[in-house]
Amino acid sequence: MAEDKKSKDAQLRAAINQQLVESGEKEKLKETLRQRLIECGWRDQLKAHCKEIVKAKGMEQITVEELVAEITPKGRELVPDGVKKELLKRIRTVLSQQQQQ
C-alpha cells in the first residue's frame, strides 16, 4: 500500500511538473523563488553556512558534492514558511486556471 501511494505521488508530481513546464510557469515560479529567497536573506544565510562547513573541514578536505549534500537539508529548513505557502498558492492557482481552459 505504501509503495502504491509513493508511486501515485510520483506520477502526480511528474504530471504537475509537465503542466508547469509546458505552460512556461515553471520558469516564472523559479524566478519568484529566487527573488523571495534573496529578499528574506536565505541566500546569505546559506552562504555563511557553506563558509562554516568549509572552514571546519578544510578547503582541500571537502568536495563540491559533499558540500551540497551537507547544506541541502539546512537550505530546505531555512526557506521561510511564507515563501513556501506563496509558491504553493501560485502553483494551485496556475493548475486551477489550466483546468478551467
- Taking 90 as the threshold, does the pLDDT of residue 4 lie above it? no
Contact 29, 20 (CB under 8 A): yes
Matching residue, cell 502553483 = 91
Mean pLDDT of 78-98: 93
- pLDDT digits 0-9 by tens, 49-81: 999 999 999 989 999 999 999 999 999 999 999
DSSP designation for 81: H
- pLDDT digits 0-9 by tens, 34-44: 999 999 999 99
Question: Given pLDDT bands bounded at 50, 70 and 90, which one contains residue 6?
Answer: confident
